């Protein structure tokens, strides 16, 4: 099973079956119940994770506010920055639902980095992509008003929802994506509803005009 998952990762697409099998042998399958912590921000990172089943929330907390950075789903990976000598974790991770993860230790993975320069390059591409997304998030927080930030968040949530425009999410979860509280989120949602861009009722959000949503988010 893990061989099929590893083969789907962009990170390992150029690797031979032999290489994949070697990595598979050092992976340990672990189960994480919903809401359980996988690691905390500022912990020393010694493991890389591949999601076999479930969803993992990557987030950061400052004071009493929590900001959801992204949601990692099936056949995706996370924790790779710690394997490149970044030391402590830059964010926290918890199971958004019951999840199963393949866990690979830093010590074993470093052996493959030394033997496979292609893997190192792939990891750098992955980091560049994630840093680019982080830059866009910072830009959104600095320059966009709450409506623009909400529009960006809805589009990001849609992406994690399999690009389905019919999304089940409550206002507290949306506030988590924006790093704010329910009150401004409620006002912004009502503004989008009145404009006919979305409909929202009892935790059920439907995107009705994606083009206008993208325009508000500053997407091309």
| 62 lies in the same domain as 154 | no
Kindly state the average pLDDT of the residues 94-98. Answer: 95
Residues spanned by the domain of 67: 2-134
At 189, the pLDDT band (50, 70, 90 cuts) reads very high
Query: How would you class 63 by CB atoms within 10 Å of its CB: exposed for 0-12, middle for 13-18, buried for 19 or more?
Result: exposed
Q: 50 has which bridge partners?
A: 77, 102
| 112 lies in the same domain as 13 | yes
- pLDDT of 123 over the 50 cut: yes
When the pLDDT of each residue in the chain is averaged and rounded to a whole number, the result is: 82
- pLDDT of 8 over the 70 cut: no
Is 167 inside a domain boundary? yes
**Sign of the four-CA dihedral 91, 92, 94, 100:** positive
At 142, the pLDDT band (50, 70, 90 cuts) reads very low
**Distance from chain centroid for Cα 15:** 24
| 11 lies in the same domain as 92 | yes
**Residue that is last in its domain, among 109, 134, 159:** 134
| 201 lies in the same domain as 149 | yes
**Distance from chain centroid for Cα 1:** 22
| 150 lies in the same domain as 75 | no
Proportion of the chain above pLDDT 70, given as a percent: 84
**Residue that is last in its domain, among 106, 134, 162:** 134
Q: Which of 133, 136, 144, 162 is nearest to 215 (CA)?
A: 144
| 75 lies in the same domain as 101 | yes
| 113 lies in the same domain as 165 | no
Top pLDDT among 84 and 39 is at: 39
**Residue that is last in its domain, among 112, 134, 156:** 134
Is 51 inside a domain boundary? yes
Note the pLDDT of residue 114. Answer: 78
Note the pLDDT of residue 101. Answer: 94
At 12, the pLDDT band (50, 70, 90 cuts) reads low
Q: Contact, 9 vs 85, CB < 8 A? A: no
| 197 lies in the same domain as 122 | no
| 130 lies in the same domain as 148 | no
pTM for the whole structure: 0.56
At 211, the pLDDT band (50, 70, 90 cuts) reads very high
Kindly state the average pLDDT of the residues 12-18. Answer: 67
Quickly list DSSP for 170-195: -HHHHHHHHTS-HHHHHHHHHHHHHT
Kindly state the average pLDDT of the residues 11-23. Answer: 69
Top pLDDT among 89 and 12 is at: 89
Count of the separate structural domains present in the chain: 2
At 99, the pLDDT band (50, 70, 90 cuts) reads very high
| 52 lies in the same domain as 97 | yes
| 13 lies in the same domain as 86 | yes
Kindly state the average pLDDT of the residues 107-130. Answer: 72
């Amino acid at each position: 099973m893990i061989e099929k998952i590893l083969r789907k990762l962009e990170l390992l697409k150029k690797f031979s079956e032999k290489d994949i099998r070697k990595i598979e042998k050092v992976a340990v399958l672990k189960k994480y119940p919903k809401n359980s912590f996988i690691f905390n921000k500022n912990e020393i990172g010694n493991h890389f994770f591949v999601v076999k089943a479930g969803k993992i929330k990557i987030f950061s907390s400052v004071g009493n506010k929590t900001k959801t950075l992204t949601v990692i789903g099936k056949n995706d990976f996370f924790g790779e920055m710690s394997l490149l000598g970044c030391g402590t974790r830059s964010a926290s991770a918890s199971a958004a639902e019951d999840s199963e993860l393949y866990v690979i230790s830093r010590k074993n993975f470093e052996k493959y980095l030394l033997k496979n320069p292609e893997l190192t390059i792939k990891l750098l591409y992955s980091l560049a992509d994630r840093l680019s997304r982080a830059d866009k998030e910072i830009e959104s927080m600095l320059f966009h008003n709450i409506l623009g930030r909400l529009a960006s968040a809805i589009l990001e949530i849609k992406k994690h929802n399999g690009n389905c425009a019919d999304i089940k999410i409550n206002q507290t979860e949306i506030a988590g994506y924006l790093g704010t509280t329910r009150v401004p989120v409620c006002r912004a949602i009502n503004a989008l509803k009145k404009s006919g861009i979305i409909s929202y009722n009892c935790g059920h959000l439907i995107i009705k005009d994606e083009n206008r949503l993208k325009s508000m988010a500053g997407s091309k």
